Amino acid sequence: MALQAGIVGLPNVGKSTLFNAVSNSAKAQASNYRFCTIEPNVGLVDVPDARLNKLAELVIPNRIVPTQIEIVDIAGLVRGASKGEGLGNQFLGNIREVDAIIHVIRCFEDDNVLRDEGAINPISDKEIIDTELQLKDLDSVERKIGRVEKAARTDPKMKAELDVLVQCKNHLQQGKSIRSLDLSKEEKTAIADMFLLTEKPVLYVANVDEPSMHTGNKYSEALAKAAKEEGAQIIIMNNNIEAQIAEMEDPADRALFMEEYKMTEPALNRLITSAYKLLNLYTYFTAGVQEVRAWTIHEGWKAPQAAGVIHTDFEKGFIKAEVIAYNDFVQYGSEAAAREVGKLRIEGKEYVVKDGDIMHFRFNV
């Protein structure tokens, strides 16, 4: 589906290190100087899902195929980016293209890692990025207001659009992001074409030092409080440790390394899963001897749309879907057993797919 989550933050906070840890298909240069990343790096990331592994245990397929999302490593923003500082226009343009934001914030002290903003202050760092995004959005909103004002005098539809734009302008001028503005679905259509930066959902990553990996520290606690106030999630992790885990190909070595750090799983798993949910994505499965596979859809999609993710012909010629709930499949151990006890349902075009459904589509083209 090519949905993207973009990694943003100030320079030298651990963005590229995080990207390298999560990405299966690309690696970014991570160095201790400003603008080490210029062009955005894009990598595919497998979404960890215990349900996929459980289905594979039951079906014993020839292959297992997880679903994926795209992660984009965007260059560090600096104060004044909205005015073009530090190649700001280019980097803000990169953010405009993603669907959600992973905001990495430094929550550790290390004199060997360069920092332009003085003493460690995650709230100040967060506000620098927020302000630059808000200023860029304010510029976009004011420009559109200038374009629609005249037409709004005689056109009721344009008048309604102008009213929404004015709401956005006032909100941004108060130092608030558009995602915190309570707009209806209809009102959001007035700003949909602008792809506003502060409308995108955000997930915060507190990059802490090793001693703070499990407990956090005063910096991550301050960030967690700020995130809670805006209804956002926060993941606490040490990006360097996560990158080391990701580089280990031998599962036994990885397990020993995590045991040494008292980790039951990489924090990256929580990050990737949270980013996936941030995009309002669901997973359904197909399960057969050839493969057990996870497929990505949007929350609220109906069966024909879900079928179209496999192939457009499946959607065009959709007849019906055979559906087994994940818990029923696991309880009875196979499709045949679930069918025998009446847990396989036949659903039509109006069926809204649920997260975890195991599905088989019938179609005719």
Q: What is the pLDDT of residue 65?
A: 96
Give this prediction's pTM: 0.85
300-363, superfamily in CATH? Beta-grasp domain (3.10.20.30)
Whether residue 166 is annotated as binding a ligand: the answer is: no
| Count of C-beta atoms within a 10 Å radius of residue 180 | 13
pLDDT per position as a tens digit, 16-73: 888 888 875 444 344 333 444 456 688 888 899 999 999 999 999 999 999 988 888 8
- CA 158, CA 154: separation in Å to the nearest integer? 8
Whether 13 has a binding-site annotation, put simply, is: yes
Q: How far apart are CA 200 and CA 102, in angstroms?
A: 10
Can you identify the CATH homologous superfamily of domain 4-48+68-118+201-265? Answer: P-loop containing nucleotide triphosphate hydrolases (3.40.50.300)
CATH of domain 130-198: 1.10.150.300
Provide the pLDDT for residue 81.
Answer: 52
Indicate the DSSP class of residue 111. Answer: T
Give the pLDDT confidence of 298-344 residue by residue, as tens digits: 999 999 999 999 999 999 999 999 999 999 999 999 999 999 999 99
What are the structural domain ranges in the chain? Answer: 4-48+68-118+201-265, 130-198, 300-363
Q: Is 15 annotated as a binding residue?
A: yes
219-265 tens-digit pLDDT: 999 999 999 988 899 999 999 999 899 888 899 999 999 999 999 99
Check whether 342 is labelled as a binding-site residue. Answer: no
Contacts for 17 with CB less than 8 Å, ≥ 6 apart: 30, 239, 240, 243
**98 labeled part of a ligand binding site:** no
Instruction: Please give the share of the chain, as a percent, with pLDDT higher than 70.
Output: 89
Distance CA 15, CA 38 (A): 12
Q: Do the annotations mark residue 262 as ligand-binding?
A: no
